A and B are shown apart, each in its own frame.
Chain A
Amino acid sequence: MNHKSWVRYRHPARWTGIFWLFVLMLTFSNPSWAHKLSIFAYVEGDRVYIESYFANGDPCANSPVRVYDRSGAILVEGQTDGEGMFNFQLPERDDLRIVVEASMGHRNEYLLSKQEIVGEMGSASSPPITSPEDAQETTRLPAARDIEQILDRKLAPLIANVHEMQRAQDRAKLRDIIGGIGYIVGLMGLVMYLRARKRDD
């Protein structure tokens, strides 16, 4: 028995057909993710807004949403609308765990930290400057509420941009596909190497 026989695979040509089938599949595949569920949540004023979507950008519509507090108790329960959106009154200023569940075991969660919430709440409810010595100044300065409105308006496109970037990042990258196949080839080599060594012993 020739111990090296496994190396000389006699008909390498038999794989070329499959290889081309494979390339064909890659070419026609649209580079979108299957059903990875993404959630994005942010606080605006005293409401929390949730956007959920599948990896290919489709909204995760009409899916149950549950919001838990730090101890795991359910604070809010609801359902996303047709656009995968949901919003609710902020129940408390603490860490919130937001879970969206789609059918057939697709699920993800988003942790809205206390800092994010408090930061947002603080800016919304900070009283205008009222100390008497500053009264003169206050009349000339725009009120906190106005500043916030201006900021909201200016930042809206930026926030939209960030969301868009996050979505783009969630889409499949050719790099990952090639990397994955590389891992499989590497594993194959490893298994064959180990077996060859065992046979030589």
Chain B
Amino acid sequence: MHISEGVLSPPVLIAGGVLAVAGVTAGLKQTETDQIPKVAVLSSAFFVASLIHVPVGPTSMHLVLNGITGLLLGWAAFPAIFVGLALQAILFQFGGLTTLGVNTFNMAFPAVLCFYLFSPLLRRENRSWNVTAGVASGVLAILMSALLIGLSLVFTGQSFLRVAQIAVVAHTPIMVVEGILTGFCVLFLKKVKPELLVPSSSRRRDTS
């Protein structure tokens, strides 16, 4: 999921950086102050998720959790994922500082798309729709991120179809895992704290 330093060409890095800055700005603008702890908690979850390994056959994959991040945060997923990735780069040497922009966009943009596609389903009082929204976000966020990685690597001279194919195939197991995990997460939150599923950007600040 994380593209390392020195793989991408400068134009791709700059494009990624610009898109990431735009996303982070939009995210910060749309986040009410009382929602910031929520952003921080999901950022922490995202930060730690990459250390959680799911054994898949001979290798292992790590969780990404961008689906649930997007579903709960909307545009605020950009700052949350940006901070998570920056810390992963500094502390764990995952990805890198020059690729921070590209990696942020690759993981946060699908998260925001999932938010627009599936968060309306979360408000329905129908459990199967809620779970569907969760599973679909978990799967699609990873799928779209894998495709974006393929797209980023095209400019290094590798053929898109081949890279995208490798990326999608490699991430299929984690799509399944995240789909199930996100589904359960949504179900759990709907039961325990349904107000959490109301996205930060559409909620007005409480002034009690």
Contacts and interface: CB of A to CB of B under 8 A. Distances in A.
Given A1-B207, A10-B206, A185 B40 contact: yes
Contacts of B6: 107, 109
A26 B53 contact: no
A107 B34 contact: no
Interface residues of B, number: 53
A103 to B, nearest CB: 6
A180 B43 CA distance: 10
B193 A104 contact: no
B5 to A, nearest CB: 8
B78 to A, nearest CB: 14
A10 B208 CA distance: 9
Contact of A29 (B7, B52, B87): B52
A34 B207 contact: no
A187 B83 CA distance: 9
A33 B188 CA distance: 29
A59 to B, nearest CB: 11
B62 interface: yes
Given A5-B208, A30-B53, A56-B60, A188 B39 contact: yes
B53 A32 contact: yes
Interface in B32-46: 33-34, 36-37, 39-41, 43-45
Contacts of B34: 5-6, 9
A65 interface: no
B156 to A, nearest CB: 8
A31 B170 CA distance: 22
A184 B44 contact: yes
Interface in B66-103: 83-84, 87-88, 91-94
B48 interface: yes
Given A10-B206, A33-B92, A34-B62, A108 B4 contact: yes
How big is the A interface, by class? 35 or more
A105 B4 contact: yes
B60 A105 contact: no
Contact of B94 (A2, A19, A36, A58): A36
Given A5-B34, A14-B196, A191-B28, 18 more contacts: A1-B207, A14-B193, A14-B195, A15-B37, A28-B52, A29-B51, A101-B7, A104-B163, A104-B166, A104-B167, A105-B2, A107-B6, A172-B51, A180-B47, A180-B88, A183-B87, A184-B47, A192-B33
Interface of B: 1-8, 28, 33-34, 36-37, 39-41, 43-45, 47-53, 59-60, 62, 83-84, 87-88, 91-94, 149, 152-153, 163, 166-167, 170, 188, 192-193, 195-196, 205-208
Interface of A: 1-2, 5-6, 9-10, 14-15, 17-19, 22, 25-26, 28-37, 55-56, 58, 101, 103-109, 172, 176-177, 179-181, 183-185, 187-188, 191-192, 195-196
17 contacts: A6-B33, A6-B34, A14-B196, A15-B37, A17-B193, A25-B52, A35-B94, A36-B94, A37-B4, A104-B166, A105-B2, A107-B6, A109-B6, A172-B51, A181-B47, A188-B37, A188-B39
